[in-house]
């Protein structure tokens, strides 16, 4: 669930999924947040297409009415219709030693990236696989933004490891 904009203050940054509904004037767009449903205005110096987009690092410009804008580190990704179901790709989150990947690759599933917060696990993944490894947290919006940039036209599956007892803390 995305942040409720009424709880944010001007100057705060946020990430959210929204539908661009209408081009109001010059650089202003009417948007509706997906979850929770909330309306806001988005200011953009470049033209945006109607439809659903994921936005990262938007800045709250005002509260009444809610207005967001792009800043230097902002990014957005339009949601796209996928072609017929032909291939699956995986984001392996909390991948540990890569167990899900070892079982998925023989089935022809493409592994796009690993994300793990444990430095030692990242070193193991880098040594054993040829895909990018991000050392970071699923709680970090910048890590999620980096993952999003790696999406392909395949159907995306996110696999998540579980603690390896009794070794995890």
How many alpha carbons fall within 13 Å on the CB side of residue 87? 12
For residue range 63-116, what is the model confidence (pLDDT) as tens digits? 888 999 999 999 999 987 776 777 888 899 888 888 888 888 888 888 999 999
DSSP for residue 147: H
For residue range 114-158, what is the model confidence (pLDDT) as tens digits? 999 989 999 999 999 999 999 999 888 889 999 999 988 888 888
**Average pLDDT rounded to a whole number, residues 45-51:** 92
Q: In this model, does residue 20 exceed pLDDT 70?
A: yes
Question: Residue 53's pLDDT band (boundaries 50, 70, 90)?
Answer: very high
Q: Where are the alpha helices (DSSP H) in 6-160?
A: 99-104, 119-128, 141-148
| Start-end of CATH 2.40.50.140 domains in the chain | 5-78
Tally of helices (H runs) and strands (E runs) in the chain:
3, 10
CATH number for the domain formed by residue range(s) 88-160: 3.40.50.150
> Burial of 31 by CB count in 10 Å (0-12 exposed, 13-18 middle, 19+ buried)?
buried
What topology is assigned to 5-78 in CATH? OB fold (Dihydrolipoamide Acetyltransferase, E2P) (2.40.50)
């Amino acid at each position: 669930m995305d942040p409720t904009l009424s709880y944010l203050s001007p100057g705060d940054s946020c990430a959210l999924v929204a539908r661009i509904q209408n081009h109001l004037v010059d650089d202003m767009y009417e948007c509706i947040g997906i979850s929770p449903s909330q309306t806001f205005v988005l200011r953009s110096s470049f033209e945006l297409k109607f439809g659903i987009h994921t936005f990262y690092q938007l800045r709250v410009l005002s509260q009444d009415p809610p207005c967001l804008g792009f800043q230097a580190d902002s990014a957005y990704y339009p949601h796209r219709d996928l072609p017929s179901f032909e291939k699956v790709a995986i984001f392996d989150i909390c991948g540990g030693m890569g167990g899900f990947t070892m079982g998925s690759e023989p089935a022809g599933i493409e592994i796009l990236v690993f994300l793990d917060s444990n430095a030692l696990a990242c070193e193991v993944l880098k040594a054993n696989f040829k895909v990018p490894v991000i050392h970071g947290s699923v709680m970090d919006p910048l890590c999620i933004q980096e993952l999003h940039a790696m999406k392909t036209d395949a159907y995306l599956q996110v696999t998540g490891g579980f603690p390896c007892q009794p070794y995890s803390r």
